[in-house]
């Protein structure tokens, strides 16, 4: 019987990786816990639902937050099966500290930055240069949050075009530093800021907002890794979920929500 169950798990993982249903008839129900960067909320919610449909008996639960906060929760003992980060720093830290096996994290998508504005754009912001105008209310993610760090890197690149003090002027206009990118999005949606910097995927999820593109030479492209935790209670199902994210079906969903292809 033990060999039969092992065979069933192998079949389940193989079929799920191909994006086809993986029946779990005769197996105990499984709840897979996935910790994922806030920017993945919309895409992963859709992917999770599709994975559940393809794998009866499996329920996927998500915890979406800033990657740095998720890493801390994992280090403090939170039970997690899969971690998907918006940067490599948090993943590398977990690998170094023995929570994730060396060599297992996989880069599964890219993302880039965009400036978002309220639908009515009350501050009349028309260009990146306007972010430095005195009195402009900006909301960013905090510097320790991946998107907040990327945003400040982009400002450094903008100095070459708009002047050596451009970054300092923009930073002086920040009225709030948020814990994750969805909080930045929410503040702009509520009209509590004149502008913010988020990922393209977040702008796609909020089509009512205006946005200003950041040229490639001034942009910072995020690379997202994903991996199973060493202490996952459902190792085979974790690998099946990761395979689904990397599959054509998973990548199609990610592209729909504005993410770039895996590097």
Distance CA 136, CA 53 (A): 47
C-alpha span between 155 and 96 (Å, rounded): 30
DSSP string, 32-69: EEEEEEGGGHHHHHHHHHHHHHHSTTEEEEEEEE-HHH
| Among candidate residues 184, 174, 164, 191, the one with its CA nearest the CA of residue 136 | 174
Residue 40: C-alpha distances to residues 12, 56, 180, 210 (Å)? 25, 23, 11, 21
**β-pairing verdict for 106-111 and 222-228:** antiparallel
Domains by residue range for the chain, with CATH = 2-110+224-256 (3.40.190.10), 113-218 (3.40.190.10)
Q: Put the strands of the sheet holding 113-117 in their side by side order.
A: 174-178, 138-141, 195-199, 113-117, 210-213
- The H or E element containing residue 108 is strand 106-111
- Residue 159, burial from CB neighbour count under 10 angstroms (0-12, 13-18, 19+): middle
Q: How many other CB atoms are found less than 10 A from the CB of residue 210?
A: 16
d(CA 197, CA 174): 11
Instruction: Give the pLDDT confidence score for residue 27 in this predicted structure.
Output: 64
The rounded average pLDDT for each run of 10 residues, N- to C-terminus, in the chain (263 residues) is 33 42 60 98 98 97 98 98 98 98 98 98 97 98 98 98 98 98 97 98 96 98 98 97 97 97 88
Tell me what pLDDT residue 263 has.
84
Backbone dihedral angles phi then psi of residue 31, each to the nearest 5 degrees: -110, 115
Angle CA(79)–CA(85)–CA(91) in degrees, nearest 5? 75
């Amino acid at each position: 019987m033990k060999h039969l169950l092992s065979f069933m798990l192998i079949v389940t993982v193989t079929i799920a990786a191909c994006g086809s249903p993986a029946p779990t008839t005769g197996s105990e129900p499984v709840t897979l816990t996935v910790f994922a960067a806030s920017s993945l909320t919309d895409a992963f919610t859709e992917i999770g639902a599709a994975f559940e449909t393809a794998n009866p008996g499996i329920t996927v639960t998500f915890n979406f937050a800033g990657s740095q906060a998720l890493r801390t929760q994992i280090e403090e003992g939170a039970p997690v099966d899969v971690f998907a980060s918006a940067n490599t720093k948090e993943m590398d830290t977990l690998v170094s500290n023995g929570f994730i096996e060396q060599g297992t994290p996989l880069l599964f998508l890219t993302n880039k930055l965009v400036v978002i504005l309220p639908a009515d754009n009350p501050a009349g912001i028309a260009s990146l240069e306007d972010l430095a105008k005195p009195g402009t209310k900006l909301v960013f993610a905090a510097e320790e949050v991946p998107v907040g760090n990327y945003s400040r890197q982009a400002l450094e690149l903008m100095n070459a075009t708009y002047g050596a003090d451009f970054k300092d002027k923009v930073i002086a206009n920040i009225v709030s530093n948020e814990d994750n990118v969805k909080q930045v999005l929410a503040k702009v949606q509520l009209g509590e800021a004149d502008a913010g910097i988020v990922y393209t995927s977040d702008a796609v999820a909020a089509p009512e907002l205006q946005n200003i593109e950041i040229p490639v030479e001034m942009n910072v492209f995020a690379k997202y890794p994903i991996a199973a935790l060493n202490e996952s209670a459902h190792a085979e199902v974790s690998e099946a979920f990761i395979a689904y994210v990397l599959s054509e079906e998973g990548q199609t969903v990610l592209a729909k929500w504005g993410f770039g292809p895996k590097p």
